[in-house]
Amino acid sequence: MTESVVLCGSVFHSDSGVLGGRTEILVRDGVIAELGPRLTRPDGAEVLDLSEHTVSPGFIDTHVHLTMDAANLARQTLGSTATKALTGLSIAAEYLQHGFTTLRDLGCMDPEFPTVDLRNAIDAGTVAGPRLIVAAHILSATAGHGDLSGFYPSRWDLAVSAVSDSIGQIRQLVRREHAHGSDWIKTANAGGYFSVGDDPARGTWFDDEFEALCATAAQLGMPVAVHTGGADACKQAIRAGARSLEHAYLIDEEGVEMATQAGTFVVPTMQMTQEDLAQLRQGTLPEQAVWKFERDHEQILRSQRIIAASAVKIAYGTDCGMFPFDHGILEFQAMVQAGVTPVRALQAATSVAAELLQRDDLGVLKPGAAADLVAMPRNPLEDITATAEVDFVMRGGLVHRGPA
């Protein structure tokens, strides 16, 4: 049995959104055993002094791509499966240092299942890293967002795209993900900005195709995350029972209201829009993205403000991999800039993200929850930029950073 007592200056109670005062947390074998203003400290327990810090449940990024590198997508995608798993491991371990104790990876761009292997190795304790929840591949229609064939010379035929255009084959793709250990199904029902030959404003699945995908996933007990864009595609995803809308770039008021009523989560990836805007200004946005992003960027920012002004469940997700992981922590600031309150932004990365992932042992400080803790010297509810100053990270009771 290993025990430690964490002395907290203040604690963020993610479920209520309240910042509590001095608190002691007893951690036993990776789990929060007890918390209160003053605990009896067991003999031999390590004491971690964070009495000058604000402590929060570990952050959860619900949209990453550990095995993708948008800065060199062709070379990265063509690398071996083992290379992807190993580079993904080093990226995940580094991202943990920023406070992200749980990640949902939404697509590996590989014929095999390197993110499933990585998840299993971390779970087994073979390697150290954040907890992973995985959707291995992006299931897509031909010429949809998950069809990478437009990126590469025509003679190159490595099966990195999981593509189909018939209902029976769509079911097979979903079942294959399940058979190989994916936790979630990821699909795209609209085009994207960086992908070649598609358009985020247009849908790519017909209703019967998309409904077959969702019904097959539901039969297998797998939730569905949908890369989506145009307002109509967002509504198709909500109607079919998707659990999360990824990006929802061009969602309108009606779509946000539908998502609110249905309890559908939105992962609005707002920092990515800031990254793309910077690239557009610098002239470094990839050619295939320029016309789409020039046309849409004002509407994307409008849609983000509609999301922020609504009561919809917003979960923290970045799409890191499409931009550098060391900017992932800036999603907090992008959310607040769009009108999300600091409390709601922190809940998006803790309690709401955990609810999206159907994990009541994560994202909250309570007895029985995983001892995933982060700490920062300042109060993030007063100034959200404090989240970029995390200098203590505990994941499952193990200290990965600090105390400073």
For Zn ion, give the closer residue by CB, 26 or 141. 141
Packed helices 207-219 and 231-239: angle between N→C axes, nearest 10 degrees:
40
Q: Which is nearer to Zn ion, 55 or 188 (CB)?
A: 188
Local structure of residue 79 (DSSP, 8 states): S
Q: If we measure between CA atoms, which residue out of 234, 66, 219, 199 comes closest to residue 135?
A: 66
- The 5-44 site mask, x for binding Zn ion (CB under 5 A), equals ----------------------------------------
C-beta of 252 vs 319, nearer to Zn ion: 319
Name residue 146's amino acid.
G
Nearer to Zn ion by Cβ, of 57 and 192: the residue is: 192
Look at residues 6, 1, 77, 76 and name the one whose alpha carbon lies nearest to residue 36. Answer: 6
For residue 305, the cross-strand partners are none
Per-residue binding string, Zn ion, 264-303, x by CB under 5 A, is ----------------------------------------
Shortest CB 65 distance to Zn ion, Å? 6
Question: Residue 183's Cα: distance from chain center in Å?
Answer: 14
Cβ 63 to Zn ion, closest distance in Å?
6
Taking the C-alpha atoms of residue 383 and residue 397, their distance in angstroms, rounded to an integer, is 28
For every residue of 360-397, DSSP letters joined together read: TTSSS-STTSB--EEEESS-TTT-GGGGGG--EEEETT
Q: Does 105 bind Zn ion (CB under 5 A)?
A: no
**Closest CB 54 distance from Zn ion, rounded Å:** 30
The least distance separating Zn ion from the CB of residue 319, rounded to whole angstroms, comes to 4
In eight-state DSSP terms, residue 36 is E
Q: Which is nearer to Zn ion, 296 or 319 (CB)?
A: 319
Task: Report the residue number, 186 or 235, with the smaller CB distance to Zn ion.
Answer: 186
Give the residue with the Cβ less far from Zn ion, 198 or 319. 319
Cα separation, 154 vs 111, whole angstroms:
17
Q: Which is nearer to Zn ion, 104 or 131 (CB)?
A: 104
Distance CA(317)–CA(322), nearest Å, equals 12
The CB-of-192 to Zn ion minimum distance in angstroms stands at 8
Q: What is the DSSP letter of 340?
A: -
In the complex, the smallest distance separating the C-beta of residue 232 from Zn ion, rounded to whole angstroms, is 20
Sketch the per residue contact string, 157 through 196, with Zn ion: x for CB under 5 A, - otherwise. Answer: ----------------------------------------
d(CA 8, CA 21): 8
Smallest separation (angstroms) from Zn ion to the CB of 137 = 12
Nearest-angstrom CA–CA distance, 106 and 65:
6
Residues 310-349 interacting with Zn ion (rule: CB under 5 A): 319
Q: Least Å distance between CB 115 and Zn ion?
A: 13
- Report the residue number whose CB is nearest to Zn ion: 319
Q: CA 174 → CA 182, 208, 298, distances in Å?
A: 9, 15, 35
**CA atoms of 379 and 219, how far apart (whole Å):** 44
Number of residues this chain uses to bind Zn ion (CB under 5 A)? 1
Which residues contact Zn ion by CB under 5 A? 319
